[in-house]
Amino acid sequence: MISFPNAKINLGLNIIRKRADGYHDLETVFYPVLGLRDALETVHGNTGDGALSFTYSGLEIAGDTGHNLCSKAYHLLKKDFPELPALQMHLHKVIPMGAGLGGGSADGAFTLRMLNQQFGLGLSETALISYALTLGSDCPFFIINKACYATGRGEQLENITVDLSTYRFVLINPGIHVPTGWAFSQIHPDTPLQHCKNIIQQPVETWPGVLTNDFEKPVMQAFPDIQAIKEQLYQQGALYAAMTGTGSTVYGIFSKNTSLSFDFPDHYYIYQG
């Protein structure tokens, strides 16, 4: 079986409070970017130990591949469904990692969805979301994979109506790693004046200066190249531009007929869709 885990962007991101368990309560709108996708395939394998053989291609995956979210998702289900057979799993990595695009989270969540379907585990969407939350705070969104207003750690999801299909998206990643722990340490949690789920119901042209990402100010002060990306997107005619997640990817939303000509270094990752 093969599937195509897609990226996401955050339309607004507000950190509201730090919780007693060390996590943060937040609010954001997750929006799927269906055109930017990895490819994930699972087939019955003969690994010799009744477990998982994982390989990958495309972008480099840092660290022990046995600890990536695809592998973790398989072993998470294997605990409750020991009848899961040995598998060969291959991931072709396209979505930049550590970029605020949720690529790893998507891979983990799609693994859960695929195994549920492929082997008839009978797990409901609610159950899959519960498993996904074990993998990470962004993972539950990719079980639904439609525009959602997210609260709590990001796992409390409310389907909302926001259709940006008539616009053109540009995503720019400069390859800068923004440490997540450091990014959260720069935030002073507060309740926003306007909730992002209400802001995004207004025309895109009204979003600048109103729909905000709390991480932008400290991250862009520390990494001026990220600020420069946002400025160039607006110079090119973006109706709205913002950093997604804790960065370092910045996206711009343009009218479909906008002619674009960027001047970014060759090592930047650029997606237009």
Let me know: does 185 contact 224? Beta carbons within 8 Å.
no
Catalytic residues, which ones? 8, 138
Q: What is the mean pLDDT of residues 108-131?
A: 97
**With 60 as the cut, is the pLDDT of residue 193 above it?**
yes
Q: Which CATH class is domain 167-272?
A: alpha beta
Q: Quick check: 265 pLDDT over 60?
A: yes
- 121-159 burial, b at 16+ Cβ within 10 Å, e below that, comes to bebeeeebbebbbebbbbbbbbbbbebbbbbbbbbebee
Write out the residue limits of the CATH 3.30.70.890 domain(s) in the chain: 167-272
CATH of domain 2-159: 3.30.230.10
Residue 61 pLDDT class (50, 70, 90 cuts):
confident
In the chain, which residues fall in CATH 3.30.230.10? 2-159
Q: What are phi and psi of 60, to 5 degrees?
A: -65, 135
Q: Bridge partners of 150?
A: 28, 157
d(CA 270, CA 248): 12
pLDDT > 70 fraction of the chain, expressed in percent and rounded: 97
